[in-house]
Amino acid sequence: MNQDPTVFIVDDDKNILFALRFLLEAEDLNVEIYSSAQAFLNNYDGNQLGCLLLDLRMPGMNGLELQELLSARGIVIPIIIITGQGDRLMTIRALKAGAIDVLEKPFDDHKLLQHIHNALAGDSEYAHSV
C-alpha cells in the first residue's frame, strides 16, 4: 500500500482540475486529476490512502453514481463533494451515501484545504485501525 496520501480530484471542468491541482500541490499534497468518473475507476487502487474531491454533475457516470459504486465495492475513501449545480436533494443523497461534506463552487480555498486535511487525517487513522 502506498503510504503517502493522495487527493484524487474528479471533475469534468478542466479549469477546476488544473486550478485545484495547482492549489493542492502548492500545499505539498500528492494530487491525481481525472476528467471523468470512469477514468478515476480505471486508475484507482482501492488501497490507496487519500480523499476524493468529487463533482456531482458530470457526463456519463455522475458523482453520486461513482460514490454508490465505490460503496458497493467496499471501497472506503473520504469524499468531499464539490458542485456548482447542486440542489438540496442531491446534497442530502451525497451526505447519506457517506460524503463528509458538500462544498458549492466557487468555494473558499482555506475552507477546502481544512476539509482536505481533516479527510486525509481521518483516512490515515482508519487505515491504521484496520
Predicted TM-score (pTM) of the model is 0.89
- What confidence tens digit (pLDDT) does each residue in 28-69 have? 999 999 999 999 999 998 888 999 999 988 999 999 999 999
The confidence score (pLDDT) of residue 86 equals 64
Arithmetic mean of pLDDT over the chain: 88
Segment 78-107 shows an average pLDDT of 86
Q: What average pLDDT does the segment 81-101 reach?
A: 84
For 30-54, letters b (16+ CB in 10 Å) and e give bbbbbbbbeebbeebeeebbbbbbb
pLDDT of the residue at 127:
43
Which domains, and CATH codes, for the chain? 6-129 (3.40.50.2300)
